Structure 1
Amino acid sequence: MEYRLAVENTPDTIPGGTGILLLHPSTGETDRIDTDFLKTDTDRFLVISTRTTAREVKQKLDHYDVDERKADILDTLSIERGYSRRNTDDVHYVSAPDDLEGILAVTERFLSGTDGKRRISFDSITEMAYYADEQRVYNAVLQVLELLEEHDAVGLFHLSKGVHDEEQIERFLGLFDAVVDLDRDGNVDTDFSKVE
């Protein structure tokens, strides 16, 4: 299955199974890229949020005019912060950003239980690494990428350049076929040379 992309300086389409690493500065404005990715050529999407609550994700989707009826949201923060929460058909919760088994279970359930063109936004690897050690996070990202391939879906994974050292960034880069690199001024550089 081919997926159209509406992100600047990227190919017109990418095949199902592609994971894209979004490298950004610590203060980088990623919402524009994230929402352009989610709202194009999509039947359902899942936002795995280790950075903001489900309520904040919904506000972002609304602000950027993304069709919320297509959205599932995995909120990893509200329980740990003691906020009230109610599971609904499209909002899911795990106990904390380091509940990697829970995150993987929700992701697998989403991909197994939906049809058509599915996208995942993983926001963010960096926040998850604050809570869980890097090796566990690396393994979890690898498993999500395997799920994308298995279910012919695509994903965008956020990683902050300002937080990780060069060696850590290179290690995560090695997992991905495609990279979107956002600089402080909002310029976008990309590398999709490994995408088949």
Structure 2
Amino acid sequence: MDYRLAVENAPESIPGGTGILLLHPSTGETDRIDTDFLKTDTDHFLVISTRTTAREVKQKLDHYDVDEERAEILDTLSIERGYSRRSTDNVHYVSSPDDLEGILEIAREFLESTDGKRRISLDSITEMAYYADEARVRDLIRELLDLLDDHDAVALFHLSKGVHDEEHVEKFMGLFDAVVDLDRDGEVRTDFEGV
């Protein structure tokens, strides 16, 4: 199944199973790319947030007019910050951004319990790597990419290029078939040759 893509300088559509790496400056404004990705040609989506709480994710979706009825959110921060939280049908919690097994399990449950066109946004690899070992994070990404393949879904993975050294950025880039590179001026370059 193909998914329409609302990203400038990118193909009009991508096949299910595609994971896209979104490279951005540490201060880069990724919300527009992220929300356009989530609201285009989508039946259900999961936001895995290691950078903001579920409440902040909801505010972003509302601000960019994304249909929250289709949304599930995985909040990895609130419990670690000491807020007591109970999961609901569409908001899930794990203990911290380095609970990689918990994150993988929620993503698997989301893909197994939904149908149609599914998208995942993981915002961000950088925060996850701050809490967990980078090699473990790369292993998690490989498993998530396998899940996309198995379930004909697509995903956008955020990585702040200014925070990691070049070698680590290259290692993360090597996992993906497609890269969207956002520069400080908001210009977008893309490479979808592997798709």
Which whole-Å CA distance do the structure 2 matches of 1:95 and 1:75 have between them? Answer: 9
Which whole-Å CA distance do the structure 2 matches of 1:41 and 1:186 have between them? Answer: 24
Aligned length: 195
Where does residue 62 of structure 2 map in the other structure? 62
Which whole-Å CA distance do the structure 1 matches of 2:85 and 2:109 have between them? Answer: 20
Q: What is the one-letter code of the residue matched to 2:93? A: Y
Q: What is the one-letter code of the residue matched to 2:12? A: D
Where does residue 15 of structure 1 map in the other structure? 15
**1:85 Cα deviation (Å)?**
1.8
Q: Give the match's secondary structure for 2:190.
A: strand
Where does residue 82 of structure 1 map in the other structure? 82
> TM-score, normalized by length of structure 2?
0.99
**1:86 Cα deviation (Å)?**
2.4
Q: Give the match's secondary structure for 2:80.
A: helix
CA-based RMSD of the aligned residues comes to 0.5
**1:127 Cα deviation (Å)?**
0.3
| 1:23-172 matched pairs, under 5 angstroms | 23-172=23-172
Unmatched runs of 5 consecutive residues or more in structure 1:
none
Per-residue CA shift, 1:62-93, capped at 9, x if unaligned?
00000000000000000000113221100000
Which whole-Å CA distance do the structure 2 matches of 1:186 and 1:39 have between them? Answer: 20
Where does residue 194 of structure 1 map in the other structure? 194
Aligned-residue sequence identity (percent) comes to 80
Which contiguous aligned blocks of 4+ residues in structure 1 show a shift greater than 6 angstroms? none
> TM-score, normalized by length of structure 1?
0.99
1:3 aligns with 2:10: no
**1:146 Cα deviation (Å)?**
0.6
